[in-house]
Structure 1
Amino acid sequence: MTVSPFDHPFLSGLLGDEEVGSCFSVEADIAAMLAFETALAEAELEEGLIDSDAAAVIAAALDTFEPNMDGLRAGVARDGVVVPELVRQLRAAVGEPHASRVHFGATSQDVIDTSLAIRLKDAMGVIEARLASVVDELKRLEARDGAVETMAHTRMQAAIPVPASRKIASWREPLERHRERLAAVRDDVCVLHFGGAAGMLEKLGDAAPAVTRRLAEKLGLRALSRARHSERDGIVAFASWLSLVTGSLGKMGQDVALLAQSEVGEVKLSSGGGSSAMPHKVNPVDAETLVALARFNATLVAGMHHAMVHENERSGAAWTLEWLTLPQMVVATASALRKAEALAMSMAFRETGARG
């Protein structure tokens, strides 16, 4: 059973994205959490906080570890997070006398937030590549059809003739600006979250900064001077960026759906959706989906702003709201970019224009 259209048995054909969706699978999450625990043991070995025997046993146990998923499910129901039960299972797999060195100095939020950062880094790579592909397709469309005369519309009324390049530029240029913004967004998302119980790494003593640097390097993330457990501005800026991207794609989809109307006919789509009752129709499904995904992300981004409000050093409520919201926004953006590329490839501007 699923309540999400992104992995629904048939609605996912319209809205889903398996490549980016896999970043939020249980397999990807557990793999990233295990990567954190393995790298933590290695970093602590290198700083003399655990001995080589413990590090070797931990590495071997985690390399072959298979979680008890029923136990993890029960643990989350009890604890609100997966890490206490996961660490219990990991320590059982490591056994004595080294079990206590598993997860040494860390807290649940370190593991969960760092796992998310690792997986978002992968998702952002896919999204960035797709964004570039959409821009490239729009450049090709502009080079081919940019000189075609179309009718500009202001407030849904015919205005003056303009070249198609004017319309295409209004789709392409915002996406290019989003590409420029992404570097700063990524810098605040792909960070190591490592602060221990209340952000002080108190169990690591003077070795805390060195362990942090080593751990970040091993995981390919940016080290911070302190964990941002309750400071969610970076992740919310990413959510806002996602909504900007889908909003710009939604504008493109809305324009294309209007231009492709039978009565307007300024854009011809080489492919589209069929009708069960009217076989002559070619419905602009990709264009409509871009509009829906834009509005979806615009709705959810408000939830991400609510998720910024943590009580003191950690909030279970705000944190849970983030889990409910962000994955869907990421998958929606990836799906929208894939559909936008297909739409750009399928359209052609027609010389007849609105007056044909």
Structure 2
Amino acid sequence: MLFEVFLSSPAVEAVFSPTAVVQAMMDVEAALARAQARAGLMPATAAQAIVSLCRAELYDVPALLAAAPRAGSLAMPVVQRLRETVALFDPSAAAYVHRSAAAQDIVDTAMVLCTREALRLIDDDLLTLCGHLLDLAERHEAVPMLGRTLMQPAQVISFRFKVMNWLMPLLRSAEMLRRQADAALMLQFGGPVGTLDSLGEHAEAVLEAMSQDLRLAVPDMCWHTQRDRGMRLAAEIGIMCGALGKLAQDVALMGQAEVEELSEPQADGRGVCITLPHKHNPVAAQQAMAAVQRVPQRIASMFSCMTPQHERGLGQIQAELAEWNGLLGNAHAAVQALAQSMAAPTVRPERMRAHVAARQGLVASEGLELLLLPRLGRQRTAAMLQDIIHRVRQGQGSMREMLVQSLDQGELPANAIAEGDLDALFDMDTSARLADQRVESLLQDARRRCDALASRPLG
């Protein structure tokens, strides 16, 4: 569809293209033939004939797709056409095509193969994004900035602290994606009802041979109607997309001209507005936000498909599988866009400092309250604090100036606040260093975890 180009990635679209999916199905059929020949269930020559014709380019893929709705499964026209083609070259071998397998075995395993490739794309860009965020955090030490709650200025944090707030959920997602992929990306081969009855004592040997051939784990039992592992993987992808959306939204907000603390890199005309050339649109954040908007609905649709009847469902599996490529495309589009934008963002520490200073010391309100409470008591502290805040908002001066004035005029006891207390209270650099200390060990640990993930490819 036309506007899907904004929500997916060409790489994932290629992984799930009709030709790629049909080829994955052919790969499963070829592995099945080789496994059965190895187990002595078909002649080696028959397996060789079948395998030699398991090439999607030999077939009219659009015709196979057109035949799928009437057949009830894409596997049926694929298998029928494969069988017919094998019969042209070796009639005796045609009888061995797809033997003991169910259509769902072929489709599920093919989708596992495609999903594995898509997850590798996501994993690569997710680790790249995590690496960029780590670099960003390491480069900016003790940079004070406003922490904002309920879209309003709150207290002083550090830029490093904020970056780590973006990074950690994404790092956990990178780790959990590996774990859920290991659990979900498994061979599907159970025959008509999951028992492999027709293979008898050879069932385990055929399973093991297919497992080695396709590099997929053998499940504890056929999962025709056990969709839980796949749904856990889908849920983890959804959680990752939520974290990506959080990052994209923060980047867009920080890039507003009125804020201008961090913005996407300006290169190759990215973000240029034709009619308003003074604008720099956050297009990477926009793409990521657009992509992740579709994810909750996709996952909800997939979860609703976890009710197949008896040993084979009626429609649920087809509906579930139809969401997979969209989900993975949305996820990759978001992570790829943000990985590119976070490679070299424009960071403006001076703007961060200016926004803290512009609050006229009000960000130190809680610290002042804690300082005065043991000396003035709760009621008097609350009244004094509200009066000072009111005067600052009326433009009479900064909070520090109002405190000094209150001391000079005797509104505060002379010993209520020492000069050193005032210096510490309004020192934004001290606040930033304290925020950095909160994540110092976490930063080092995150680097180790990222390196460990990079050293072991997914799948």
Query: Under a length normalisation based on structure 1, what TM-score does the superposition of the two structures give?
Result: 0.93
Within the candidate set 6, 28, 31, 1:39 is matched to: 31
1:88 aligns with 2:86: no
Within the candidate set 118, 124, 127, 1:129 is matched to: 124
Within the candidate set 186, 190, 193, 1:195 is matched to: 190
For 1:275 and 1:93, how far apart are their aligned partners in 2? 55
Secondary structure of 1:230's counterpart equals coil
Distance 1:21-1:71 versus aligned 2 partners, 3 A rule: closer
For 1:151 and 1:65, how far apart are their aligned partners in 2? 58
Distance 1:65-1:142 versus aligned 2 partners, 3 A rule: closer
Which residue of structure 2 aligns with residue 143 of structure 1? 138
Letter in 1 for 2:320: E
For 2:67 and 2:16, how far apart are their aligned partners in 1? 19
Deviations 1:65-96 (A, max 9, x none): 71233541342121121112111111111112
For 1:151 and 1:60, how far apart are their aligned partners in 2? 64
Give ranges in structure 1 of 5+ residues lacking alignment.
7-11
Which residue of structure 1 aligns with residue 16 of structure 2? 24
Secondary structure of 2:232's counterpart equals helix
Which residue of structure 2 aligns with residue 293 of structure 1? 291
Give ranges in structure 2 of 5+ residues lacking alignment.
359-459
Secondary structure of 2:219's counterpart equals coil
For 1:237 and 1:314, how far apart are their aligned partners in 2? 20
| Alpha carbons 1:247, 1:298 under 8 Å: kept | no
Deviations 1:27-62 (A, max 9, x none): 211111111111111111111111223222222333
1:53 aligns with 2:52: no
The answer to which of 263-272 and 182-191 deviates more is 263-272
Letter in 1 for 2:156: P
Deviations 1:186-243 (A, max 9, x none): 1122200000011111111111111111111101100123210111111111111111
How far 1:252 sits from its partner (Å)?
Answer: 0.7
Within the candidate set 100, 107, 111, 1:105 is matched to: 100
Secondary structure of 2:157's counterpart equals strand
The answer to which of 162-171 and 178-187 deviates more is 178-187
For 1:338 and 1:163, how far apart are their aligned partners in 2? 26
Letter in 2 for 1:35: D
| Alpha carbons 1:148, 1:349 under 8 Å: kept | no
For 2:249 and 2:164, how far apart are their aligned partners in 1? 15
How far 1:347 sits from its partner (Å)?
Answer: 2.0
Deviations 1:102-158 (A, max 9, x none): 000001000000001111111111211111100110111112234322110011110
For 2:147 and 2:57, how far apart are their aligned partners in 1? 61
Distance 1:249-1:146 versus aligned 2 partners, 3 A rule: farther
Structure 2 counterparts to residues 1-356 of structure 1, below 5 A: 3=1, 5-6=3-4, 12=5, 14-62=6-54, 66-95=58-87, 96-271=91-266, 272-350=270-348, 351-353=350-352, 354-355=355-356
For 2:286 and 2:79, how far apart are their aligned partners in 1? 46
How far 1:313 sits from its partner (Å)?
Answer: 1.5
The answer to which of 252-261 and 52-61 deviates more is 52-61
Letter in 1 for 2:351: T
How far 1:182 sits from its partner (Å)?
Answer: 1.9
For 1:232 and 1:94, how far apart are their aligned partners in 2? 34
| Alpha carbons 2:254, 2:262 under 8 Å: kept | yes
Deviations 1:283-336 (A, max 9, x none): 112112222222221222111111212111222321122132111110111111
| Alpha carbons 1:91, 1:99 under 8 Å: kept | yes
For 1:296 and 1:256, how far apart are their aligned partners in 2? 20
Secondary structure of 2:53's counterpart equals helix
For 2:241 and 2:139, how far apart are their aligned partners in 1? 25
| Alpha carbons 1:171, 1:248 under 8 Å: kept | yes
Distance 1:345-1:60 versus aligned 2 partners, 3 A rule: closer
Letter in 1 for 2:325: P
For 1:219 and 1:295, how far apart are their aligned partners in 2? 34
For 1:288 and 1:61, how far apart are their aligned partners in 2? 45
Which residue of structure 2 aligns with residue 9 of structure 1? none
| Alpha carbons 2:21, 2:114 under 8 Å: kept | yes
| Alpha carbons 2:186, 2:217 under 8 Å: kept | yes
Secondary structure of 2:204's counterpart equals helix
Deviations 1:12-37 (A, max 9, x none): 2x433122221101121111111111
For 1:21 and 1:198, how far apart are their aligned partners in 2? 32
How far 1:270 sits from its partner (Å)?
Answer: 2.8
Alignment size in residue pairs: 348
The answer to which of 194-203 and 93-102 deviates more is 93-102
For 2:52 and 2:272, how far apart are their aligned partners in 1? 55
For 1:90 and 1:270, how far apart are their aligned partners in 2? 51
For 1:125 and 1:70, how far apart are their aligned partners in 2? 27
